[in-house]
Amino acid sequence: MTETGPRGILFITGTGTGVGKTIVTAAVAALAAAAGQRTAVVKVAQTGVHDGPGSDTPDLAVITRLSGVTDTHELARFPDPLSPEAAARVSGLPPADFGRAAALIERLAASRDLVLVEGAGGLLVRYDPAGATLPDLAAALDAPALVVVPAGLGTLNHTALTLEALRARKIPAAGVVVGSWPGDAGLAERENLTDLQVLAGGPLAGLLPAGSSTLPGADFRAVARAGLAPALGGGRTGG
């Protein structure tokens, strides 16, 4: 059973863009669905995606392919690969609406066992001109946040800052997950595992190998089960 807030809501954020948030979201969703949990996934704002050629695959499509979860909800989409606020501004489209997002997530939580909310970019990226950030939405919904981090140099500072920002906003941290563990991990990556546990205050909530996104569904679920801690539905123990 995935550890969530009192209403079964879990936010998935990260130290920045490209750290593996979508893959971690898919892994948590895959294990929850395999355990029989009614699971929904929400993307408040997707940037860098449009409907023409050359566009990246939307995050929710990746999650569905890997996890099999089709109960997915995208609230805003912007074509430019920028922060949600900037992407809305340059496109001339309205910014993401956190009031609408909160209402949708609450409705979903009333009839689902688990609602996963994947953020864009890092924790404090702005969603609108007023400066709304993901912690504002998490606080309104009384939900914890899982933090996805990279393995290499720079991760310790960024992870510490992200966790500190969550504490300052009284958002419970549901754990730290390394989103992409390299097959050729060097000294920095190996030592970072020890230090990340210190920052997290205990064993990591997960570690997923690089390249997991290319696996078929059954193989991805096996990797998710091996890579995520019991609190997230997996069987990983230790650091």
**Domain ranges (residues) in the chain:** 9-232
Of the chain, the percentage scoring pLDDT greater than 90 comes to: 91
d(CA 15, CA 160) in angstroms, rounded, equals 9
Q: What is the pTM of this model?
A: 0.94
d(CA 62, CA 118) in angstroms, rounded, equals 13
Q: What is the CATH number of domain 9-232?
A: 3.40.50.300
Q: Residues 122-155: pLDDT tens digits?
A: 999 999 999 999 999 999 999 999 999 999 999 9
Cα–Cα–Cα angle for 144, 145, 149, rounded to 5 degrees: 160
d(CA 93, CA 37) in angstroms, rounded, equals 35
Q: Residues 7-60: pLDDT tens digits?
A: 699 999 999 999 999 999 999 999 999 999 999 999 999 999 877 555 567 999
Q: Residues 48-106: pLDDT tens digits?
A: 987 755 556 799 999 999 999 999 999 999 999 999 999 999 999 999 999 999 999 99
The pLDDT value given to residue 123: 97
Q: Which residues pair with 148 in a beta bridge?
A: 14, 177
The pLDDT value given to residue 223: 97
More confident: 237 or 235? 235
Q: Residues 152-192: pLDDT tens digits?
A: 999 999 999 999 999 999 999 999 999 999 999 999 999 99
Rounded to the nearest integer, the mean pLDDT of the chain is 94
Q: How many CA atoms lie within 13 A of 100 on its CB side?
A: 11
Continuous segment of H or E residues that includes residue 146: strand 145-149
Catalytic residues, by residue number, are 43
Burial annotation 99-135 (CB, 10 A radius, 16+ → b, else e): eebbebbeebbeebbbbbbbbbbbbebbbbeeebbbb
Whether residue 1 is predicted with pLDDT greater than 50 in this model: the reply is no
Tokens of 57: 């695959």
- Residue 136, classed as helix, strand or coil, is helix
pLDDT-derived band at 107 (thresholds 50, 70, 90) equals very high
